[in-house]
Amino acid sequence: MILPICADAAKAGCGEGLIWDPDRSRLWWVDISGEALHSYDPATGRATRLALPYLISALALDKRGGLLIATKHGLGRVNPTTGEIVALHDPEPNIPGNRLNDMIAGPDGALWVGTMSEGAKGATGALYRYRGGRPDVMMTGTTISNGLAFSPDGKRMYFIDSVPGVLHLYENDRWHVLRRFDDSTGKADGMTVDSHGTLWVAICDRGQVLGMTPEGEVTAQIDVPCQIETNCTFGGPDLKTLFITTGTFSMSAAEKAANPQAGGLFAAQMEVAGLPPYRVNWPTE
């Protein structure tokens, strides 16, 4: 049985966007509603929190070691020491109410970024692929553009649209529906893939992370002592720690008091290692 432990009782409103940084040997993650950048060093157990001037929702590494961020104002680059943000590009400057949500770097250095309407008020989101700093529209009509992950060989890309509960597969330049989530599985949020190709999907209303085959069959379940699971990724020097972000955004004051670890960063030791993150080939400004 896999037993996650709370590595950082951060009490985040909506933990998200975690990524392992092998250069700095630390995990970065964000609190969306708390407008903050967090880090965790598994060697020392040291955790940090840096307040930022506005909402950030996801992170990616560029090939020069910079930290890219998805924000309500588009893509940017953040200095993780000072919190200074440099704006890079907004793919939807003329769609009021929309913001960036999840993102991931691909094996070719492209950056995949999904958008959503704040509060998931409609299917106004889209999925973009940036190459050379310029976006191509890869999908439209999404609600909450969430979980993005690549297969170990980099030939398959997985994408979750949370409100309709659809896990999409992009392969050979075509989209397919891999599986649908319903009341039996719960609401899918963020995800990652391990080195054997297993998908690990955070279920944001069940206190669970589900393991799935590349065909979408559920084969494993990790129970987390917190109701709201938002995302997960592998980290640590051997990439065998599954880090899991959680939230408190729909909990009452009484529920928060009864679950003091809610909104924390959890860590689970896994038998199979994950994959190191790809890096974005963003053009030099």
Task: Take residue 260 and report the two structure tokens written for it.
Answer: 């003091």
CA–CA separation, 272 and 260 (whole Å): 30
Question: Are the CB atoms for 218 and 211 separated by under 8 Å?
Answer: yes
205 is catalytic: no
Residue 39 amino acid letter: S
CA–CA separation, 132 and 111 (whole Å): 9
Question: DSSP class of residue 94?
Answer: T
Task: Take residue 176 and report the two structure tokens written for it.
Answer: 């397919």
Question: Are the CB atoms for 188 and 200 separated by under 8 Å?
Answer: no
Catalytic member of 31, 102, 189, 194 = 189
Measured over the CA atoms of residue 237, residue 36, residue 209 and residue 2, the dihedral's sign is positive
Task: Take residue 95 and report the two structure tokens written for it.
Answer: 């769609």
Active site (catalytic) residues: 189
